[in-house]
Structure 1
Amino acid sequence: MHKPDPIGEIDLAAYVDDQLDAERRVEVEAWLAANPQAAANVMADLRARDALRLLAADRAPVPGRLAAVAGRLDRALSRRAMWSLAPRTALAASAVALVSLLGVELAGGLTSPAEAAPRYVAEAAMAHRVALVRAGMASQPEVATLDAAEMQRVTGLVMPKLPAGWRVLDAQLFPSDDGPSLQMTVDRGDGEPVSLFAVRARTGAPENPLVVRDGKEAVAYWQEGEMALALTGDEPEAELDAVAGALARSTAG
């Protein structure tokens, strides 16, 4: 019986770019079914690929979205080892050309359109707004204590460890499409509260935070294992992206 060759980065990149024959594609899909984190990353890359193809067909919406799609796809391609070994495909070249045309800086966290983000991002933004309303109501006392062990035992939610100097002002459970979610209002020591939102879901969110704008709030969202996380605040996107990046790095693994 034929034993499939090991699945590597080259196979995943070829899968995303429709470069595999039917037999190898089935083998890759079987491997992805047993590796959910890799599958989530590949799904995100497939969405970026399809968005870029819509752009090439002149059916994509506005320039702001084009920049986000191009940046997301370029970061996805940069993860694949094959691009250092072989020429890029026409799709990859299109992404690079588009990035150059729009002058998008790829080194940091790009702002992408909120409507292209996972659905929990909108829930995180709404939870942040509700928390601000609660903070101004005498009849709605804040809950500043959080038993992380109890929260994990009862709901399955695992919150990242907060950096030194961060103080929880309020913690509330919210319903979401993916089950119970937790919103924490946090003081980082600068007087500007931010909300940390967590829900147990596989969303296809990136491991490194990506920032979107939802109304006046900026939301940085990312995935840590089985937890989908979002940091929301009324502050510049670049600043929130830096804070979320530091939080994600401190809790990774």
Structure 2
Amino acid sequence: MTDRNIPVTEDELHAYVDDELPAERRGDVEAWLASHPDDAARVQSWRAMAEALRTRYDSVVDEAVPKRLDIERLVRQPRRWVYGAVAATFVAFIVGGGTGWFARGAATAPSAFQNLTVDAIEAHRLYVVEVRHPVEVPGSERHHLQQWLTKRCGWVVRAPELAGAGLKLVGGRLLPGSGGPASFMMYESASGERFTIYTAKSDAEATQMRYAAKGKESTLFWADDGVVYAVVSTGADRGRLTQIAQAVYDQLEKKG
């Protein structure tokens, strides 16, 4: 038997929204919501967000976690560069940027970019559908997030301010990359549209911005000072993706 006087926690509210709350506690939570309109409004907002994400990203919600991001596999053996069919698929989609696109140096070997786009898009597809745990560190802790990722990755990691493009920082996380750690940050619009920024160390010193796409996912990516940056979206048109990627690039350049 449960005590309805016990305050309902935020974890319980999330579990209620996800239909994961124990049956014996459900009545208590519903009674709590009936007498706490602020929490009831939050629950309604979360449900609306979950529905919007399901509608937008339904095609990838039930996909298996890519083997490249399987933690147990990563612990058992070191990461290797991706070869074969998966990486080869991206060759057809990699397009050099136009002459006006941030030409910073000679193009690098395609394999480095193939691996980056595979990693960036797989990470995007894995986490973009998450409602409760899309990130490790929330956007409200931007300063801590930047310091933590900078320390763990070994290069200066910044979370660009993208409010001008209608995006709010959801937060970020540390991921295993092809050649070491990688940083991953997620942004979201008021309508639930999500973009992610993936950065990883690379042999590429500087390149033009390039475009790659696979299925509904697309990315604009470039290298600067030995770090590769990829801005990824699901379903956004190339113009919108370009707007976000250029905003990211401009801010990183100004603070570089």
> What's the TM-score once normalised by structure 1's chain length?
0.49
- TM-score, structure 2 as length reference: 0.49
